[in-house]
Amino acid sequence: MIVVLKENSNKEQLSNLVDWLKSMNIEIQFCNGVHQTVMGLLGDTAKIDIDLIKALEIVEEVMRVQEPYKSANRKFHPLDSVFKVGNTTVGGGSFTLIAGPCSVESEEQICTVAKQVKDAGATMLRGGAFKPRTSPYAFQGLRKEGINLLLEAKKETGLPIVTEIMDISHIDLFADVDVIQVGARNMQNFELLKELGKTNKPILLKRGLSSTVDELLMSAEYIMAGGNEQVILCERGIRTFETVTRNTLDLSAIPALKAASHLPIIIDPSHATGKSKFVPAMSCAATAAGADGLIIEVHNDPSHALCDGPQSLTPADFKKLAKQVNEIHNLVSKF
Ligand code: PEP
Ligand code: MN
């Protein structure tokens, strides 16, 4: 349930309302906007007499919320979420450009790509250290060593780093990682999500291969329910009957998620298409549709990449694309 308060509402009446709600075991989340304060009521709100609250002098409006997600819900938090990651800002009009290889392969590879993507305008560096591969015989990532190499690249470029966690027992290795990625295959690993909810790190939560928009939001809710509000949603293509692309990029998830949630939304056109030649068109389309950023695979030598070479851009192609998407973002943010 949402209670919208009148501007400059009487403090004593507000405190009486809060005490009354608390006496019914209702948890209250306040969201203070410039002109309005919104109270989000969590718990068994069925027992609350809505007309009784509506009748209070300090109350502007009361609404019941149907959606099962509360913390991620825009109704509880009308303004876009914005958070700092290192020296960059995610959400609220900023455009986040995360770039780097699918996997960290060597110090030379990650540091070279890091410098090239920074020069092209990337705001964060990506690179997988723990890789969720379909085959157990495929390259599994450099694991701990991969994280150390990412930290080396961060030291050289100043770019915040994004890398995937697959098992909560590895959490200590992520102490200096700026953004922890939860991959598509782990979107509904609820125990992992609960533990990440206890951390204070931004989480890049990728949509599962066959998950709905509502399921993605419920997974975000798992993290937020633990107290970690810094969730970045990521659409990375879903399973459909189509085989011309690796997955099908669900562009309509952007306006759907924007309407439903205040969380920033990042698009991954690399895993969505699986083909580097399709990445620029889908990056531009996602930016025009209102995404808060992109995560793009870039490799210094795509044909020899240990993972996802066919969908990786060269640094030169990424540079061209970065310029285009920044121009599109500037244009659409004027609408
Ligand atoms: C990745 O980002 O390298 C990755 C494995 O992505 P996803 O979980 O979307 O498949
Ligand atoms: Mn990949």
Q: Are residues 121 and 214 in the same domain?
A: yes
Residue 83: predicted pLDDT: 95
| Domain stop point among 29, 63, 97 | 63
Q: Which ligand is nearest to the CA of 268?
A: 1
| Strand duo 59-63 + 96-100: pairing | unpaired
Same domain, 320 and 263: yes
Residues 6+ apart with CB under 8 A from 295: 98, 99, 126, 162, 204, 234, 266, 267, 268, 270
The answer to whether residue 326 sits within a structural domain is yes
186 assigned to some structural domain: yes
**7 and 126 co-located in one domain:** no
- What is the residue type of 249? L
Domain that holds residue 147: 83-332
Q: State whether the beta carbon of 246 lies less than 6 angstroms from ligand 1.
A: no
Establish if 77 belongs to a structural domain: no
Cα–Cα distance between 265 and 206 in angstroms, integer?
Answer: 10
Q: Which residue has the higher pLDDT, 216 or 9?
A: 216
Is the pLDDT assigned to residue 115 strictly greater than 90? yes
How many angstroms is it from 164 CA to the middle of ligand 1?
8
Ligand 1 mean position to 34 CA, how many Å? 38
How far does the centroid of ligand 1 lie from the alpha carbon of residue 63, in Å? 38
Q: Domain check: are 52 and 159 in the same one?
A: no
pLDDT at 334: 86
CA distance 10 to 176: 45
User: Could you tell me if 176 and 47 lie in one domain?
Assistant: no
Number of domains in the chain: 2
Instruction: Give a yes or no: residue 260 inside a domain.
Output: yes
pLDDT tens by residue, 229-257: 999 999 999 999 999 999 999 999 999 99
Q: Residue 183: nearest ligand to its CA?
A: 1
Nearest ligand 1 atom to the CA of 186 is 8
75 occurs within a structural domain: no
| Calpha distance 231→152 (Å, rounded) | 25
Dihedral-angle region of residue 285 (phi above 0 means left; psi in -120 to 50 means alpha; beta otherwise): alpha
237 is a domain residue? yes
Mutate-to-test residue for ligand 1 from 239, 268, 308, highest number of ligand atoms within 8 A of CB: 268
**Mean pLDDT rounded to a whole number for the chain:** 96
Query: Do residue 162 and residue 231 come from a single domain?
Result: yes
Question: Does the Cβ of 68 fall within 6 Å of ligand 1?
Answer: no
For residue 182, report the distance from its CA to the centre of ligand 2, in Å. Answer: 13
CATH number for the domain spanning 205: value is 3.20.20.70
**pLDDT at 268 (0 to 100):** 98
Q: CB–CB of 181/165 below 8 Å?
A: yes
Helix (H) or strand (E) run with residue 265 in it:
strand 265-267
173 and 123 within one domain: yes
Q: pLDDT class for 33, splitting at 50, 70, 90?
A: confident
Residues 22 and 138 in one domain: no
State how far the Cα of 137 lies from the Cα of 134, in Å rounded to an integer: 9
Per residue in 48-69, pLDDT (tens digit) is 999 999 999 999 999 988 888 9
Cβ < 5 A residues, ion ligand 2 = 102, 308
Nearest Cα residue to 286 out of 319, 311, 317, 249:
249
Residues 6+ apart with CB under 8 A from 167: 130, 192
Q: Is 197 in the pocket of ligand 1 (CB under 6 A)?
A: no
Whether residue 137 sits in one domain with residue 272: yes
| Whether residue 128 is found in the same domain as residue 206 | yes
36, pLDDT greater than 90? no
Atom of ligand 1 at shortest range from CA of 183: 8
**Assigned domain for 200 exists:** yes
What confidence category does residue 42 fall into, taking pLDDT thresholds of 50, 70 and 90? confident
- What spacing in Å lies between the alpha carbon of 163 and ligand 1's midpoint? 10
Mean pLDDT, range 77-106, rounded to an integer: 96
* pLDDT at residue 203 is higher than 90: yes
Specify whether 151 is located in the same domain as 229. Answer: yes
CATH code (residue 27): 3.30.70.1140
Choosing from 124, 165, 206 the residue with most ligand 1 atoms within 8 A of its CB, the one to mutate for a pocket test is 206
In a domain, 70, yes or no: no
Q: Which atom of ligand 1 is nearest to the CA of 236?
A: 9
Ligand 1 centroid distance, CA of 207 (Å): 10
> Do residues 164 and 26 share a domain?
no
The pLDDT of residue 118 is: 98
Tell me what pLDDT residue 31 has.
Answer: 85
